[in-house]
Amino acid sequence: MLEFDGSSKANGQAGAGAVLRADNGSMTCRLREGLGTADSSTAEYRAIILGLKYALQKGFTHIRVRGDSKTVCMQIQEQVKVKSRRISTLCEQAKQLKARFLSFKIEHVSRKLNTEADKQASLAVTLTDGHIEEEIEK
């Protein structure tokens, strides 16, 4: 399972966070990426893209995705149109990654069920733009 979240602070600094879990729910990896200055929608998309790329690199073929951005979840499922050209590009990138999995499910969850990804996104805000950190659980 992939959990994702983006964070954009009042000063514009943003970060992307993602968490991968095994089928039993145990944490396997925490990811975070500094985004420099970005809005919350960009941060959310960069978080899901970060997680999907990592999952594909690790050989995942089936994935369930959870995030607290209802808009992102609905846009990736093509239930809601993307209005911004900038966000449309990110959405298309996420959908291209989605298509590489044999099975893909995405669901919107409340913030309280997305706390670990939120924590990673908040930590990522302090990273320089493009810097990615990875923590693998032993």
List the domain boundaries for the chain.
2-136
Arithmetic mean of pLDDT, 94-103: 98
Query: Which residues, 6 or more positions from 1, have their beta carbon under 8 angstroms from its beta carbon?
Result: 20, 21, 23, 25, 63, 64, 65, 66
Structure confidence at residue 27 (pLDDT): 92
**Of the options 3.50.50.60, 3.30.420.10, 3.30.565.10, 3.40.1180.10, the CATH number for the domain spanning 2-136:** 3.30.420.10
pLDDT score of 137 more than 90: no
pLDDT over threshold 90, residue 94: yes
- Rounded to two decimals, what is the model's pTM? 0.96
- Looking at per-residue pLDDT, the higher value among 11 and 75 belongs to 75
pLDDT at 43: 98
Which segments of the chain are extended strands (E)? 2-8, 13-21, 27-37, 62-67, 103-108, 132-136
Backbone angles phi, psi at 43, to 5 degrees: -60, -40
Cβ proximity of 45 and 1 under 8 Å:
no
Phi, psi (degrees; rounded to nearest 5) at 101: -90, 145
Q: Give pLDDT, residue 63.
A: 97
Calculate the average pLDDT of the chain: 96
Residue 99 is predicted with a pLDDT of 98
Indicate if the pLDDT at residue 3 is higher than 90.
yes
